[in-house]
Amino acid sequence: MDCNCKLSGNKVLELPANLAPRFFSGLAKSEVDVVLSQATHRQFLGSSVILHEEDSADRMFLLTSGRGRHFVLTHGGQKILLHWLTEGQVFGGAALVSDPTKYLASTEVLSDSCALMWQRTTLRELVMLTPRLLDNALSIAVTEHIAWLIGATVSLSSDDAQSRVAEYMISLACGIGVGGPEGIVISIGNEDVAAGANVTPFTVSRLFSKWQRDGVLRKGRGKVTLRRPELLVAS
């Protein structure tokens, strides 16, 4: 696997040319270089759990290739999907805070992925040196994570099953969708959609069949192509 980072061993010299992480927003190149010099480059196979809920928050990562997501497990073993991750996003941000804490959720990658990793003690030193890093992390938490939580809570409180699935698919299209010749391709299965929209896999299968007949989407093995996403809301 190759994320196109420029490396010297496991040390990072430069990010991929097309990557502009919000975590580095407003930093001078010299400041970015210092932060990168303290990172370790890591590779992960698809379906790997990188961080575990309730573990000590002692590491933070920046995803440079691949995709992932946060999740929690209920006492009954049900997997509840949370925020999705794409290239350029950070996870494990609890390691940034001054008092030692634990991760509130687990994080997994869904495909072979690469990421940069910083140890908590290193992060704290970098934040003291470059306070903008902490500002950026707070901005990410508010505009991405909390906004996602508000949207999910409102949807679950007010929408019927069809609307929840439709809104969830639109959210995925914006977050992890990839443009293709036939539409927006989302690599996801029925069970994951069901978990994210809080419906049954049968409901997802029924709705996908209906939307496929209507030309809204095309269902493939492990992926969905949204051909006319605007019709999801109107359906």
Question: In this predicted model, what pLDDT tens digit does every residue of 64-93 receive, in sequence order?
Answer: 999 899 999 988 888 888 888 989 999 999
**Using one digit for the tens of pLDDT, what is the confidence trace for 162-212?**
988 888 888 888 777 888 899 999 888 898 888 888 889 999 999 999 999
Choosing from 131, 155, 179, the residue where a domain stops is: 155
Regarding whether 11 and 73 lie in a shared domain, the answer is yes
Choosing from 155, 182, 202, the residue where a domain stops is: 155
The secondary structure of the chain, three-state, reads: CCCCCEEECCEEEECCCCCCCHHHCCCCHHHHHHHHHCCEEEEECCCCEEECCCCECCEEEEEEECCEEEEEECCCCCEEEEEEECCCCEECHHHHCCCCCECCCEEEECCCEEEEEEEHHHHHHHHHHCCHHHHHHHHHHHHHHHHHHHHHHHHHHHCCHHHHHHHHHHHHHHHHCEEECCEEEECCCHHHHHHHHCCCHHHHHHHHHHHHHCCCEEEECCEEEECCCHHHHHC
Regarding whether 198 and 151 lie in a shared domain, the answer is no
Regarding whether 182 and 84 lie in a shared domain, the answer is no
Indicate whether this model's pTM tops 0.75: yes
Regarding whether 79 and 32 lie in a shared domain, the answer is yes
Domain that holds residue 142: 6-155
Residue 215, domain member (yes or no): yes
Look at the chain and report how many structural domains it folds into.
2
Q: What is the mean pLDDT of residues 122-145?
A: 91
Choosing from 90, 124, 155, the residue where a domain stops is: 155
